[in-house]
Amino acid sequence: MLAADTHGFLSPTGVEIAFFLVGLVTFGAALVTVTTRQLVHAALWLVVTLGGLAVEYLLLTAEFIAWVQVLIYVGSVVVLLLFGLMLTRAPIGRSPDADSGNRWAALTVAVIAAAALIWVVVDAFRTTWIDLDGAPAGSTEVTGKALFQNWVLPFEALSVLLLAALVGAIVLSRKAKADATPAADGGAAGPDGGGAAKADKEGAR
């Protein structure tokens, strides 16, 4: 870490300028993602947003987090979202149902959350500077050592929590399917089933 007196906000470096410009692009893409009424366009702009975050991590020398961002979020979550849109035959053009009508409430909550987050981060790291020209502080080796030496217990607890959530989702889906099956059978046996039973009874007489 560098001392605060060797850096200043009025003398930014090239990396800091690039960080600011990429941040503006990412912020704009995020705004388009939540304001567009075209679902496919929203998914594609989400790719730009998550990719911009990955570039920000790279500029902060956090290469491991950057590649995790690309592989998991851009390479898996967004692709899964696009497949979901295609399989559910989502409308390609403008969709009036994509707007819930709570724009002002959502904007108010977003502004308050952003202001609180900015205040917390600035207050916590007011005098902390990252030496971007020194050894990478967020490389895979450094992150792995910190994760499995100092944070191994929270890491394993989070793994168990995610496994429990996965098992719970499977159990709930199977229960919902089992509850829907008798209802479907009863509905199918309604008019037709009753008529067939009545015909058999008349034939027996």
- Residue 170: pLDDT above 90? no
- Residue 35: pLDDT above 50? yes
Judge contact between 65 and 46, C-beta under 8 A.
Answer: no
Judge contact between 45 and 32, C-beta under 8 A.
Answer: yes
Average pLDDT, the chain: 76
Q: Per-residue confidence at 2, pLDDT binned at 50, 70, 90?
A: very low
Q: Per-residue confidence at 92, pLDDT binned at 50, 70, 90?
A: low
- Residue 82: pLDDT above 80? no
Taking CA atoms, 197 is separated from 76, 187, 201, 202, in Å, by 53, 15, 6, 9
Verdict on whether the full-model pTM lies above 0.85: no
- Residue 118: pLDDT above 50? yes
pLDDT of residue 16: 83
pLDDT of residue 25: 95
Structure-token pair, residue 155: 């890491």
pLDDT of residue 22: 94
Across residues 139-160, what is the average pLDDT?
81
d(CA 17, CA 30): 20
Across residues 85-89, what is the average pLDDT?
72
- Residue 51: pLDDT above 50? yes
Contacts of 11 (CB under 8 A, 6+ apart): none
As a whole-number percent, the residues of the chain with pLDDT over 90 amount to 16
Judge contact between 49 and 29, C-beta under 8 A.
Answer: yes
Taking CA atoms, 63 is separated from 12, 58, 69, 70, in Å, by 22, 5, 10, 11
Across residues 47-60, what is the average pLDDT?
91
The amino acid sitting at 51 is G
* Torsion sign (Cα): 46, 51, 54, 55: negative
Most confident of 11-20, 22-31, 102-111, 147-156: 22-31
Judge contact between 61 and 130, C-beta under 8 A.
Answer: yes
